[in-house]
Structure 1
Amino acid sequence: MSFLKISHLRKSYGALEILKDINIEIEQGGFLVLVGPSGCGKSTLLNTIAGLEPITSGEISINGRNVANLPPSQRDIAMVFQSYALYPNMTVAGNIAFGMEIRKVPKEIREKAIKDVSEILQIGHLLDRKPSQLSGGQRQRVAMGRALVRNPQVFLFDEPLSNLDAKLRVDMRTEIKRLHQRMKTTIVYVTHDQIEAMTLATKIAVLKDGVLQQFGSPAEIYNNPANMFVADFMGSPAMNLLNGTVRKNDNGGFSVALARASGEEILLPVAPGKEAVGQHLGKPVIFGIRPEALTDIEGADRNATTVAEGDCLIEVVEPAGSDTFAVTKLGGKEVVARLRADARIQSGQVARLAFNLDKAVFFDPQSQGRIA
């Protein structure tokens, strides 16, 4: 049974529709990440769940109860804001306990809650400090502590790590995941960072212009993108999306032809299970392949059923420590290949690359929807 269910939700400001028929369900203890570019509506959607924004139509149910018309105080949620929203004149302990004081929770219960939460978040030594005496990561922990003592049914996080530097973001990401595994509370988390979305979520909702593009597990979103937007947005480096043409093989199967920089073509067989591409015989398609599915011969996946090889002129080589990225051109576009760190490859040379076609996907260039 769904614990948090959003049904046919719409949100408009006058004639401007911000959220367009959003449908999302997540189980109790799930970690839902709302991801998309700036202005896609993800923070507005979070605010409607919180009750900070009224909805135009639709339903929001938490644990079987429709909360769409209830004020925030009656929804049993707790929110962690991007700005932390700490009271500068209060100590850490005071900030954590403030909500409980307002609700007139007895002092001994407040003190126990502060102690328990400070142990979980490892901020016990900071309880007497003011926010101005804390680092960004410590302030974030305090903001999380203030939400945790509420013991709500749903936690809402609005881009909580965006104000932190790169290393601290990674550290805090790990802390949030560890916290979720320990507390097993339902979380809805907004970010524009697709790496954050992939590493934290049990389910991801990808939004663009107020429309839900795809909803599924991180693996589903990454390996089986519903359209070109999802394919391009999720993944770093992004999926290679190349112009190709569908051809028929002598054996009755199909291949996709990609133009090389030299003007010649490279023919790549279509893997079993993707025969729907044949409906576009002789027509242009968009061929999508992740950088890790295009690699040096020795680094190719030995378990793949359909692997093709092709010679490619390498234009740029980018060593990245654990990997080496190589840039070539196919289908009239730049293509990024992800190679082993010790791959012997140089710019300006022709290298033989392996295409794992089990991982290839195909899109209609007109609708930009998935073909196979």
Structure 2
Amino acid sequence: MAFLEIDGLKKRFGSVEILKGIDVDLEKGGFLVLVGPSGCGKSTLLNTIAGLETITEGEIRVDGRAINDLHPSKRDIAMVFQSYALYPNMTVAGNIAFGMEMRGVPAAERQKAIDKVAKVLQIGHLLQRKPSQLSGGQRQRVAMGRALVRDPKLFLFDEPLSNLDAKLRVDMRIEIKRLHATTGTTIVYVTHDQIEAMTLATKIAVMRDGEVQQFGTPAEIYNNPTNIFVADFMGSPAMNLVPATIGGNGSGLSVVLQRDGREPISLPLAKPPAGLSAFQGKPVIFGVRPEALTDPEGAERNASNIAAADCHIEVIEPAGSDTFAVTNLGGKAVVARLRADARIQPGTVTPLAFNLTKAVFFDPATENRIL
């Protein structure tokens, strides 16, 4: 039985429907990330769970209990905000203990709880400082400590890392991952950063225009996107989405890619999706991630369907651990991820290996994946 259940949830502001029937669930101790572009409804959904927004239709249950009509203070939920929301006149210890003090928790018990979360978050040396004396990452740890000390049933994080610089975001992602592993807490986390979603989540809900486009594990979302939006949104660099045609003969199907001024590339498909046969001679969108398009020496050895083709390299982007090469297929720039030491130069024609085992195909009319 799921610990958090959201069934048919809708939210309207006047005549405008912001959430259009959300259905997601999360196991106890799970980490659900709500991800999507700005304005997709993810923060509104988080606020309905917290009780900061009422819902128009549907039901939210935590541990089998409907919480729709409960006041936020009665839901046993703790929220960590983007802005940290620390009291500037209080010390770190005072900020962490404030909620307990308001609830009449004895001083000795408060101190024990402060010491416990300070150890988990490694902020024991900061307890007597004021928020103005802390870095952004330290303030975020204090905000998490204030939530942790309550020991609630559910934690909600609303874009907690968006105010931090790039390196600190990476450090804090690790801290949040460690916190989840250490405490076994159940977390719902909102972000527009798909890297945060992939690295933190046990389940991801990809949202767009108030609807869940796909709900699943990070591997399911990344490897088996349900439509073009999910394929394009999740992944960095994004999946290559190339206009193509499905060719065929007596021996099977192939994907045909046009090239400017040169003969098209025809890549044989060993085990195409069953639905792809209906598109023979018709246009499709061919999806292949950069790591599935590489130099032949770097291709995955265990893949059952590797096809090589000569490609004109337009741009090379050295990136330390990888080298990215840009070619043009189907009238679009296509990114290949090569080994760091791959000997390749812009302006040359070189063979690239397509791992068609990991290729996906989309119907250009509906933008849904062809299964």
Shorter-chain TM-score tier: over 0.9
Per the alignment, residue 354 of structure 1 pairs with 353
Residue 66 of structure 2: aligned partner: 66
Superposed CA deviations along residues 67-104 of structure 1, whole A, max 9, x for unmatched, are: 01111111110000000000001110000001101111
Query: What residue number does 1:86 align with?
Result: 86
In the alignment, what sits opposite 1:170? 170
CA distance, structure 1, for counterparts of residue 344 and residue 137 of structure 2: 41
Equivalent residues of 1:228, 1:369 under 8 A apart: yes
> Which residue does the alignment assign to 1:244?
244
Q: Within the alignment, does 1:363 sit opposite 2:362 as a pair?
A: yes
Equivalence for 1:144: 144
Aligned counterpart, 1:291: 290
**Cross-structure match for 1:303:** 302
Aligned-partner Cα distance in 2 for 1:110–1:271:
64
1:273 Cα deviation after fit: 4.9
Distance 1:256 1:273 in 2: 10
Secondary structure of 2:287's aligned partner: strand
Q: What residue is the counterpart of 1:264 in the other structure? A: 263
The residue number in structure 2 matching 1:329 is 328
Equivalent residue, structure 2, for 1:115: 115
Structure 1: distance between partners of 2:263 and 2:215:
39
SS at match of 2:43: helix
Contact kept, 8 Å, 1:254 with 1:275, in 2: the verdict is no
Deviations 1:204-235 (A, max 9, x none): 00000001000000000000000000000000
Return 5+ residue gaps in structure 1 as ranges.
none
Question: 1:84 aligns to what SS in structure 2?
Answer: coil
> After the TM superposition, which parts of structure 1 deviate over 4 Å for at least 4 consecutive aligned residues?
none
Cα pair 2:191 2:197 within 8 Å, conserved: yes
Q: Which amino acid aligns with 2:102?
A: I
Residue of structure 2 equivalent to 1:187: 187
Q: CA deviation at 1:262?
A: 2.4
- Percent of pairs identical after alignment? 73
Q: CA deviation at 1:272?
A: 1.1
Counterparts of 2:357 and 2:241 in 1: how far apart (Å)?
A: 16
The answer to whether the 8 Å contact 1:121/1:145 transfers is yes
User: What's the C-alpha RMSD, in Å, of the aligned pairs?
Assistant: 0.7
Q: Match of 1:327, SS?
A: strand
Q: Which residue of 1 aligns with 2:157?
A: 157
* CA distance in structure 2 between the aligned counterparts of 1:330 and 1:9, rounded to whole angstroms: 42
The alpha carbon displacement at 1:314 in A equals 0.2
SS class of match (1:314): strand
Paired with 1:183 and 1:348, the residues of 2 have a C-alpha distance of 53
Please tell me whether residue 316 in structure 1 is matched to residue 319 in structure 2: no
* TM-score between both structures, scaled by the size of structure 1: 0.99
> What amino acid is aligned across from residue 16 of structure 1 in structure 2?
V
Deviation of 1:281 after TM superposition, in Å, equals: 1.2
**TM-score w.r.t. length of structure 2:** 0.99
* AA at the equivalent of 1:356: N
The question of whether the paired residues in 1 share the 8 Å contact of 2:253 and 2:272 is answered with no
The one-letter code matched in structure 1 to 2:29 is G
Contact between 1:9 and 1:58, CA under 8 Å: does it hold in 2?
A: yes
- Matched residue type, 1:329: N
Structure 1 residue 250: deviation in Å?
Answer: 3.1
Is contact 2:205-2:212 (8 Å) kept?
A: yes
Q: CA deviation at 1:270?
A: 2.2
Following the alignment from structure 1 to structure 2, what is the Cα–Cα distance between the partners of residues 256 and 158? 43
8 Å Cα contact 1:222-1:235 kept in structure 2: yes
